[in-house]
Chains A and B, each alone.
Chain A
Amino acid sequence: MSASTPTTSPTTPGGPQATTGNGFSRWVQRVTSGSTWTVYALLIVVFVAILVMNPSFGEPMSIMAFLKKASPLIVLAIGQYFVIVSGEFDLSVGSLVGAQVVIAAKLIDGEDSMTWPVIGLMVLFGLAVGLVNGLIVTLLKVPSFITTLGMMLVLYGAIRLWTGGAPTGSLTDGFRQWGRGGLPDTPGQFQVPFAVLITVVLGVIAVILMRRPFGRTLVATGDNDVAAAFSGASVWWVRTRAFLFSGFMATVAGILIGGYAGVTAQVGEGLEFMAITAVVLGGVVLGGGRGSVVAAMAGALTLEALFTLFNQLSLPSTIRPAVQGVIIIAAVAYAAMPRRSKAVPSPPAGVPEPTVPKEPQPAAP
């Protein structure tokens, strides 16, 4: 988890904290400073709460079952992270996930030999959607909010038009194993789910990517696209690649969700807001340029852990959105607070500093 600090350090204004005391108080300061560390603290708190409520949750099998359930959201959060850190939005992932599951069911239709060709086709479709999103945003200069909102409507309608309203066909076991199977193939005993393995692999790839020139350019573009363009980055291609990743990740999430939960007409609904919430919970700033991918994944994990906690508390399912709303507002408000108190003393001093962007704006998309 500590792998995330180097990724963020060039962009987070965390420098001034280095002045104080010993290791522990520095650590406390770090956790409470509202940077990406907050999410880890929150994650631990939620986990401890779950464990107190239900000690058997700590058993390896329950942990693995929990991680398996959380995997699709984590994968989506990775994709959404790429887009958000580059300063854009992707609202189309929810209906893309739904579309992918429906496509898989309709094309495979119980035919085992079709599994791999259809998975290949789904990947191509996901990449195509990402490419279209990216090109419309970067070349046609349509705000990503509108582009992906339109894409959401198009995918939603097109899939239902194609299947005549309700999803048809069925998935094979070969397809579904990725979402619900595990490595030692003995159900009922401890196994590492494929979904978790896939998520870990994708997470590692994402971390590596964010340390490579692509990732650096992506963050720079999200922070200030004009400056990035001046320093020679081809902004449009970097952003388009972010959308490509998002489309790919939505495809993977679709495969996992299809395997885990099967085909329904509602699959994928609302996932885009869940993914964005997860990423923001991870301390990634909407508007781009700040935050780490590991923290975004931790945000997704925290969100799923919260839902598990709600289950443990046996809250009525209808009140859950309210609690979720309170928590995301509180988390983001908390993350925004300390930076504000640090930044406030300078502007009223009279001289308008050129470093205004240091304070994260409450930027609309």
Chain B
Amino acid sequence: MSTAVSTASPRAGSTTSGPRRRRLGSTGIVYLALVGILVVSAGLVAAQGGSFFSQGNLFYLLSQTSLLGFVAIGQTFVILCKSLDLSVGYVVAWSSLVAATTMAGDPSRIWLGVVAALAVAAGVGLVNGLVISKLRVNSFIATLGVGLIIKGYLDTQFKGPSGEVPKAFQGFGYTRIGPVPVSVIVLAVVMVLGVVLLTRTRPGYHMFAVGGNIDVARLSGIRTDRSIVLAHVLCSLCAGIAGLLIAARFGTGNALVYTYGYDLNSIAAVVLGGTLLMGGRGSILGTIAGVLILASLDTVFNVLDVSPFFKDVLRGAIIIAAVAMYARRQIDPASSRARFKALAQSVRPGSRGGPGGASSPDRTGPAGPGSAAGPENPSATTGKEATR
């Protein structure tokens, strides 16, 4: 409980600027961590006589980023809605197959292949969303189940790689404009679209509201089912783009792509990026930073020739450590002890403890991207000061 004391003392002096500082720090700290990891990586590589920022390494880093990036951006929408998508890996595999088999090496069918792959992906997202919102199946089970169904279909239908991607479309995977791969430019476009959607449009606001508290959102007149379905469709679309990218890189579609672990990796990236697994709070920029962190770890391990098994150990440890660090920051001093929190804020109806361990601090912390929770925070802090 020393955390409560140590975080409380600096905040006591700055009660007025508290919320603003916190808001800045939320994604800021992720980028700080990214810079830190880049610096350490560069140092380690330099110590071995190499250069981390060489053309080859950067290209490797960027191509790693773009693949996971698409999936993780999609996963961000879903996690913001307090949902989860474990089927993305299978969607990536499926859309790569659909694209490759539709194109069948014919350059004139490129657009048909792209549209078909994205349509299949969107269809999966629609099913996911409907199963979760209409049938009330827990998202974990729903997307796991849909993923298994796709896996069964893919394993039965496709033995090994199939289809052929025309040369023209393979450019999506390999060509660069200057030093920047085309896929990264597409990723940037998707990212900007996602950011605009989440921070400037009504459906985006609704997603935050649904993730924050679905009952309150519904009572406020939001069609919560639509938000959830939209989030899942967008998520699967993003996974579909990743599938197209894979098809372009491999030159063919491959069902075994689903063993690459995009499902869990994308969730890890999203959470590394500071988005709450409990929903209602997070950003796409943070997710991109999370993806960059994972990709730069991958790059530096590659350059240093670390054993792939040791990579897994380090990756696991770093993910836990990073999220522990965020959780520490997000623990509101006033909520670290449930008793005092309740005294300070009188009674809050519906402050139901969610499933996760970190739920109670999140509920009472300055939630959401908006400033709605702003005024509460100083009062909570002062209330806490009063009780101490």
Contacts and interface: CB of A to CB of B under 8 A. Distances in A.
Contact of B136 (A229, A323, A328, A336): A336
Given A364-B84, A364-B278, A322 B151 contact: yes
Interface string B343-357: 000000111111111
A145 B75 CA distance: 15
29 contacts: A87-B353, A137-B357, A142-B320, A142-B323, A143-B358, A149-B316, A150-B319, A153-B316, A153-B319, A157-B309, A157-B313, A158-B309, A225-B359, A230-B339, A286-B140, A286-B141, A287-B138, A325-B145, A325-B147, A329-B137, A329-B146, A333-B131, A356-B350, A356-B352, A357-B352, A363-B82, A364-B84, A365-B355, A365-B356
A147 interface: yes
Contacts of A55: none
A160 B310 CA distance: 9
Given A333-B135, A364-B278, A347 B219 contact: yes
A325 B146 contact: yes
Contacts of B99: none
Contacts of B82: 363-364
By size class, the interface of chain B is 35 or more
Interface of A: 87-88, 136-138, 140-147, 149-154, 156-158, 160-161, 165, 222, 224-230, 239, 273, 276-277, 280, 285-288, 316, 318-326, 328-329, 332-333, 336-337, 340, 347, 352, 354, 356-357, 360-365
Interface stretch (B48-56, B114-122, B324-332): B324-332
Contact of A157 (B137, B311, B319): B311
A321 B149 contact: yes
Contact of A161 (B151, B309, B315, B339): B309
Contact of A320 (B83, B138, B140, B152): B152
Contact of A322 (B79, B152, B349, B358): B152
A148 B308 CA distance: 20
Interface string B248-291: 00000000000000001001100100000111000000000000
A146 B140 contact: no
Interface in B295-322: 307-317, 319-320
A146 B268 contact: yes
B313 A158 contact: yes
A316 B156 contact: yes
Nearest to B326: A142
Interface of B: 79, 82-84, 131-133, 135-142, 144-153, 155-156, 214-215, 218-219, 264, 267-268, 271, 277-279, 307-317, 319-320, 323-324, 327-328, 330-331, 338-339, 342, 349-361
Contacts of B156: 316, 318-319, 322
A142 B324 contact: yes
Pick from A157, A277, A319, A354 the residue with the most CB of B within 10 Å: A157
Pick from A87, A224, A320, A332 the residue with the most CB of B within 10 Å: A332
Contact of A361 (B214, B358, B360): B214
Nearest to A92: B316
Contact of A152 (B133, B316, B331): B316
A365 B83 CA distance: 8
B132 A318 contact: no
Given A136-B320, A356-B215, A287 B355 contact: yes
Contact of A354 (B137, B327, B349): B349
Given A142-B324, A153-B319, A364-B82, A230 B338 contact: yes
A337 B268 contact: no
A141 B361 contact: yes
A338 B312 CA distance: 43
Nearest to A137: B357
Contacts of B338: 226, 229-230
B316 A141 contact: no
Closest 6 CB pairs of A and B: A322-B152, A157-B312, A153-B316, A325-B148, A318-B155, A287-B355
Contacts of A226: 338, 351-353, 360
B353 A328 contact: no
Contacts of B136: 333, 336-337, 340, 360, 362
Contacts of B133: 362
A340 B144 CA distance: 22
Pick from A146, A147, A161, A326 the residue with the most CB of B within 10 Å: A146
Nearest to B134: A333
Contacts of A324: 145, 148, 152
Nearest to B153: A322
Contacts of A356: 215, 350, 352
